[in-house]
Structure 1
């Protein structure tokens, strides 16, 4: 069990401009919607888990628990006011390139949005294809509905199979063995999109991106 600790460093500029934290290090963090007991955990698409809790003085701490086989992966941590993001080093290039949604690593947003481990066992994704090929669901993911406009689908990825999901997503986005899946981009299937679908008339919805367009709050 890795110990909790407090620290002061944060990424003040782009993630690529600062060295990442080593796996398992724990640092002071901004609030990230802990439960009534002052604790919260969220599993990232990479299979890594981020634990947030409060110390005796009510100050929040964060601890990163690498997923299976990921003990040597480093992590970029960025704090902006009350917002906290944790990005594994092997995901950072895809986030920077716009292929992988930064919201998937926004710990504060994930916990406040009901994506924490205490709220649901999976991660809702939107997997977009390319103009030439429809995207396939990543290994460990289940298609919940096709999204013709994106040549892809809405997918739920089980957190207990996140290692398989990440291996498939990363390989596809970087042109590896599963590149034939045709994946162009992967987003968090955010709740904002669902709210627009219910509350905004069809014509206005299309102007905002339409059903199936990933929410970018």
Structure 2
């Protein structure tokens, strides 16, 4: 699989059950250090030029969580692109953001007005170029705040494992009730006065 940096990572599991990541640096990235760590069943492969930006909260740590990426089927066997959300930094020009979005699949770029960001899919073969545009000169920016925030546009699924139990639904189901013949009304005032949503956790 490929990381956001364009580096290739292979995950293997030994006879003792421990996982290990082997990294093949992308073009022009030989000599970079890669820190691999297994914690709580997850293996992270973090390149040295991404470390400071992850620590500053500009890059989502899950972008380098190989186990999580594989679990969401973002490996090269299942997809040819990585879905990302990019939020423009205060010190970043509009042209710099346009340069980043120009590297994504044109049909995939969507403006997310609620969080002042863009959702996009970057082809696996273009991830190296995306990273060099995002972090020029191996991450030597003046300030981490000048870099846009980037996180994984991860897959989500609905789960009823907690909400139904909180309102006693399993007891109703066990009594044989399934809601047949019950009418449900959803009142809607038409007002939308919600505060601006916060960005998802990194």
Equivalent pair of 1:144/1:153 in contact (CA under 8 Å): yes
Pairing partner for 2:103 from 102, 122, 140 = 140
Tell me: CA distance 1:129–1:110, structure 2 relative to 1, closer, same or farther (3 Å).
same
8 A contact 2:82–2:121 mirrored in 1: yes
Q: CA RMSD in A?
A: 3.4
Say if 1:130 and 1:61 are closer, same or farther in 2 by CA, change over 3 A. Answer: closer
Which whole-Å CA distance do the structure 2 matches of 1:59 and 1:94 have between them?
28
Pair 1:153–1:184, CA change in 2 (3 A):
same
Say which SS state the counterpart of residue 91 (structure 1) adopts: helix
Deviation at 1:152, TM superposition (A): 2.2
Q: 2:31 aligns with which of 61, 67, 72?
A: 72
1:60–1:175 Cα change, 3 Å: closer
| TM norm structure 2 | 0.66
Structure 1, unaligned stretches of length 5 or more?
A: 1-41
Structure 2 partner of 1:168: 133
Aligned partner (choices 62, 68, 77) of residue 118 of structure 1: 77
Q: If you compute each CA radius of gyration, which structure gives the higher value, 1 or 2?
A: 2
- Provide the rounded CA distance (Å) in 2 between the counterparts of 1:87 and 1:61: 13
Greater percentage in helix: 2
Q: Which residue number corresponds to residue 15 of structure 1?
A: none
**Residue 98 of structure 1, aligned match among 45, 53, 57:** 57
Range with greater deviation from structure 2 (133-142 or 44-53): 133-142
Partner of 1:151: 116
Q: Which moved more, 1:147-156 or 1:90-99?
A: 147-156
> Within 2, Cα distance between the matches of 1:127 and 1:48?
20
1:57-94 alpha-carbon deviations (Å, 9 max, x no partner): 76644211111111111111121131110100001111
The number of residues matched between the two structures is 162
CA contact (8 A) 1:141 1:158 kept: yes
1:169 Cα shift? 1.2
Runs of 4+ in 1 over 2 A off after TM superposition: 53-62, 130-137, 149-152, 171-176, 206-210, 213-216
- Please, what TM-score do these two structures have when normalized by structure 1? 0.62
Conserved? CA contact 2:87–2:149, under 8 Å: yes
